[in-house]
Amino acid sequence: MNLAIRDIRYHRGRFILTSVGLGLLLGVVMSMGGIYRGLFADALAILSHDHPHSGGLEESP
């Protein structure tokens, strides 16, 4: 533990840059997971919809 604290004290810039980099990486991973879950939920909602989309064409009476 003493070595880690001493290393952080002497190499503060490298520690801060590493912390920022890991934070950004975690943010990207969480964003990608959210985007994937949203796309998956939208796909399931489209598939479970009762009326298929007719492409804007209506049936003539």
Interval 27-48: pLDDT, tens = 999 999 999 999 999 988 888 8
Query: Mean pLDDT of all residues in the chain?
Result: 85
pLDDT at res. 48? 81
pLDDT at res. 59? 60
**Is the whole model's pTM more than 0.85, yes or no?**
no
Q: How confident is the model at residue 4 (pLDDT cuts 50, 70, 90)?
A: confident
Residue carrying structure tokens 């001493």: 6
pLDDT at res. 35? 96
Q: At what angle do helices 12-48 and 2-10 cross, to 10 degrees?
A: 100
From CA 61, how far away is CA 40, in angstroms rounded? 37
